Amino acid sequence: MNLENHERAKKLLTMRRVEGIPAVEEQWLEDHLAHCDACSSAAQALTDAITAVRSFSVTARPEAVRRASAAVRLRAEQMRQERERTIPIWIAAAMSAALAILTTPYTWAAFAWMGRLLHVSDIAWQVGFLMWWFLPATIVGAVAARRRVASNQEAL
Q: What residues line the site for other proteins (CB under 8 A)?
A: 14, 17-19, 45-46, 48-50, 52-61, 64-65, 67-69, 71-73, 75-76, 79
The nearer residue to other proteins, 61 or 119, going by C-beta atoms, is: 61
Q: Smallest distance from the beta carbon of 67 to other proteins, in angstroms?
A: 6
The nearer residue to other proteins, 79 or 131, going by C-beta atoms, is: 79
The dihedrals phi and psi of 56, each to the nearest 5 degrees, come to: -70, 110
Q: Smallest distance from the beta carbon of 101 to other proteins, in angstroms?
A: 30
Residues 53, 20: contact at Cβ < 8 Å?
A: no
Distances (CA, A) of 11 to 19, 37, 74: 12, 16, 52
Please enumerate in sequence order all residues whose Cβ is within 8 A of that of 46, keeping only pairs 6 or more positions apart, or say none. 13, 14, 17
The nearer residue to other proteins, 53 or 123, going by C-beta atoms, is: 53
The nearer residue to other proteins, 83 or 146, going by C-beta atoms, is: 83
DSSP label at residue 119? T
Q: Smallest distance from the beta carbon of 65 to other proteins, in angstroms?
A: 5
Q: Smallest distance from the beta carbon of 3 to other proteins, in angstroms?
A: 19
The nearer residue to other proteins, 41 or 104, going by C-beta atoms, is: 41
Please state, in angstroms and rounded to a whole number, the distance separating the CA atoms of residues 148 and 145. Answer: 5
> Is 29 exposed, middle or buried (CB count within 10 Å of its CB: 0-12, 13-18, 19+)?
buried
Q: Smallest distance from the beta carbon of 56 to other proteins, in angstroms?
A: 6
Please state, in angstroms and rounded to a whole number, the distance separating the CA atoms of residues 10 and 40. Answer: 9
